[in-house]
């Protein structure tokens, strides 16, 4: 018999003796019989919680796993909170799911519980991108919504992202209040799974059409696209939901030469052609880039399984396909959008953009040059949505983005949108080609105008309960002994978002951070030096990881110096990583 502490044993006994299905109980008995203590501990040591991306975890039995009962409890808790928040209202929700294994099942369970509690459900009949769900919430005047997805995580994972009535992911107090309602559910028999079919309506192409009309209405260069309609684009959906809308969006925008990677076009939760269905990963784009080489394409686009994030590859100065990171993609989109708005005479001082605190400060510089406010918010696109809600009806949102390959254009959705992003990245490529330059040339010109900004991300994975404790110890040590200098440049500012206090280590002056929507207490540290280097440390809210974000910059005097400056900045970041003991 395995040896587990009393609290864990109580949780295990609850599942073995409670109203759980026999298959789940048999799995737990097998884990006990085989003395698999580590697996039992990880499965039961805590309850899944809402992080920056909602509920997310490995699929399987246990309170710390994605399964019928954790999904059911999350939905019951959300139902209970909605009824308290909108007393007397005829509640409505929208539900969508991605291509992951068990996603249709979890979506159906979510619909079961909502309808059983008397809530009207609008259910996407087939898999659809996350931004379509965000749009549907607003379009159908829903009070909430849920998409079943684990975004770009490995195939073992699934997730549950909850949205509020503005189409944005839930933030405080709604996320915390919902989880309190979930925690109040002590047994599976407190969850009503008795589906009411009469309260469920099914969504199809009519929502697709309405959503795509909004995407197309944002275009700023339709006449250029008409001239460059033969721009050669290779697109891969990485076995995800993007295949349902991205090719349609590109075609309706006017692009006539789009090539889909056929081997990755079929939705499949096993993601058979990639190790990791993440457009940040070079390997994930390997097949698309190879097809682009064969076709001599202009642009490669790749979306993650729920099509809220996009990765791209373009030809560099040597004609070789080069992947751009999320900071570069966000920066070039901001660079293009603000320039196009400026040329169209649409900037009057009332517009704004939003980015996260770990996203490149190059975006701030571009916004400042165009006299457009750029607000910085905590990591997680829900905070960009919160800023949009705060300013709704008073100011005009142009776009928002984050370094992790998420971007949003226009305000009809309130979460990152790879469908609209693909459309606009293609538009940027068309505009560049129409000017007789490449996409990469436009990127280089941006650096010539605003400095060459270079960012790098280092991620340490620490799994299980012991890993979570190790991550907390790392953050505590950084707080006790922050670096005094980085690569020879003194640290002039330490921002501790857990206390919302910033400190100058050189003068030991402490002061509270300026209050801003989208900034609340969070376990994040930032170190800023005299030469513009910035390091951010942040435990992930959705994965067993701690992330370190590095940003450095210096002028780019000539386009011919691109590679030399890039190598210099890369060496500088590596030196800072080594100084912090992270290499």
pLDDT of residue 1: 43
Q: What are phi and psi of 452, to 5 degrees?
A: -85, 110
Helix H or strand E encompassing 450: helix 439-450
Q: How many CB atoms lie within 10 A of CB 23?
A: 9
Say if residues 289 and 300 touch (Cβ distance below 8 Å).
yes
Q: From CA 440, how far away is CA 499, in angstroms rounded?
A: 41
Domains in the chain and their CATH numbers?
A: 1-40 (no CATH), 46-203 (3.40.120.10), 210-450 (3.40.120.10), 452-579 (3.30.310)
Q: From CA 426, how far away is CA 298, in angstroms rounded?
A: 9
pLDDT of residue 7: 80
| Candidates 151, 221, 522, 551; catalytic one | 151
**What strands lie across the sheet with 351-356, from one edge to the other?**
373-377, 351-356, 396-402, 406-409
Question: Does the reported pTM lie above 0.85?
Answer: yes
Please, what is the end-to-end C-alpha distance for the chain in angstroms?
41
Q: From CA 271, how far away is CA 85, in angstroms rounded?
A: 39
Helix H or strand E encompassing 157: strand 157-163
Q: From CA 364, how far away is CA 362, in angstroms rounded?
A: 5
DSSP single-letter state for residue 437: -
How does pLDDT run along the chain (583 residues), one tens digit per residue? Answer: 455 677 888 889 989 998 999 999 999 999 999 889 888 988 988 877 765 556 889 999 998 999 999 999 999 999 999 999 999 999 999 999 999 999 999 999 999 999 999 999 999 999 999 999 999 999 999 999 999 999 888 999 999 999 999 999 998 889 888 888 988 988 899 999 999 999 999 999 999 999 999 999 999 999 999 999 999 999 999 999 999 999 999 999 999 999 999 999 999 999 999 999 999 999 999 999 999 999 999 999 999 999 999 999 999 999 999 999 999 999 999 999 999 999 999 999 999 999 999 999 999 999 999 999 999 999 989 999 999 999 999 999 999 999 999 999 999 999 999 999 999 999 999 999 999 999 999 999 999 999 999 999 999 998 777 888 899 999 999 999 999 999 999 999 999 999 999 999 999 899 999 888 778 899 999 999 999 999 999 998 666 789 999 999 999 999 999 999 999 999 999 999 999 999 7
pLDDT of residue 54: 66
- Per the DSSP assignment, residues forming a β-bridge with 419 are none
Q: From CA 422, how far away is CA 351, in angstroms rounded?
A: 23
Structure tokens at 158: 């699934």
Q: Is 63 one of the annotated active-site residues of the chain? A: no
């Amino acid at each position: 018999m395995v040896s587990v502490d009393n609290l864990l044993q109580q949780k295990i006994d609850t599942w073995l003796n409670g109203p759980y299905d026999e298959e789940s109980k048999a799995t737990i008995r097998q884990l006990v019989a085989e003395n698999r203590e580590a697996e039992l501990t990880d499965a039961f040591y805590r309850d899944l919680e809402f992080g920056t991306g909602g509920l997310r975890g490995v699929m399987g039995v246990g309170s710390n796993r994605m399964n019928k009962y954790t999904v059911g409890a999350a939905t019951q808790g959300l139902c209970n909170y909605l009824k308290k928040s909108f007393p007397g209202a005829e509640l409505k929700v929208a539900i969508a799911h991605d291509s992951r294994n068990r996603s249709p099942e979890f979506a159906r369970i979510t619909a079961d519980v909502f309808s059983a509690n008397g809530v009207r459900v609008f259910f996407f009949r087939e898999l659809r991108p996350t931004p379509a769900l965000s749009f549907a919430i607003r379009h159908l005047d829903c009070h909430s919504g849920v998409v079943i997805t684990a975004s770009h995580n490995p195939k073992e994972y699934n997730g549950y992202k909850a949205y509020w009535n503005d189409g944005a992911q839930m933030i405080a107090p709604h996320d915390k209040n919902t989880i309190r309602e979930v925690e109040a559910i002590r047994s599976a028999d407190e969850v009503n799974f008795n589906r009411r079919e009469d309260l469920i309506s099914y969504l199809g192409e009519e929502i697709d059409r309405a959503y795509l009309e909004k995407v197309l209405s944002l275009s700023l260069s339709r006449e250029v696209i008409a001239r460059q309609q033969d721009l050669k684009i290779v697109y891969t959906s990485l076995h995800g939901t993007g295949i349902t809308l991205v090719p349609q969006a590109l075609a309706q925008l006017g692009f006539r030469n789009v090539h889909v990677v056929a081997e990755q076009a079929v939705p499949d939760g096993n993601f058979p052609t990639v190790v990791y269905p993440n457009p940040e990963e070079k390997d994930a784009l390997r097949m698309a880039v190879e097809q682009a080489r064969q076709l001599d394409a202009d642009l490669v686009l790749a979306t993650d399984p729920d099509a809220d994030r996009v990765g791209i590859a373009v030809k560099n100065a040597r004609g070789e396909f080069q992947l751009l990171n999320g900071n570069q993609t966000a920066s070039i989109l901001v660079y293009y959008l603000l320039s196009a708005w400026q040329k169209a005479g649409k900037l009057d001082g009332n517009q704004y953009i939003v980015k996260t605190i770990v996203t490149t400060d190059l975006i701030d510089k571009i916004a400042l040059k165009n006299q457009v406010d750029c607000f910085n918010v905590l990591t997680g696109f829900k905070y960009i949505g919160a800023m949009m809600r705060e300013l709704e009806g008073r100011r005009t949102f142009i776009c928002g983005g984050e370094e992790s390959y998420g971007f949003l254009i226009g305000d009809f959705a309130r979460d990152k949108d790879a469908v609209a992003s693909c459309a606009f990245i293609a538009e940027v490529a068309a505009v560049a080609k129409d000017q007789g330059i490449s996409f990469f040339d436009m990127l280089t010109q941006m650096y010539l105008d605003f400095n060459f900004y270079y960012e790098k991300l280092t991620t340490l994975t620490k799994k299980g309960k012991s890993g979570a404790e190790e991550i907390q110890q790392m953050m505590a040590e950084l707080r006790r002994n922050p670096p005094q200098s980085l690569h020879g440049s003194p640290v002039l500012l330490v921002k501790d978002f857990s206390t919302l206090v910033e400190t100058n280590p050189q003068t030991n002056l402490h002061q509270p951070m300026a209050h801003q929507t989208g900034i609340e207490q969070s376990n994040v540290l930032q170190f800023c030096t005299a030469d513009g280097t910035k390091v951010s440390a942040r435990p992930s809210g959705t994965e067993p990881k701690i992330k370190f974000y590095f940003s450095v910059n210096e002028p780019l005097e000539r386009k011919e110096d691109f590679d030399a400056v890039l190598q210099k900045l890369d060496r500088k970041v590596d030196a800072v990583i080594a100084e912090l003991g992270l290499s």
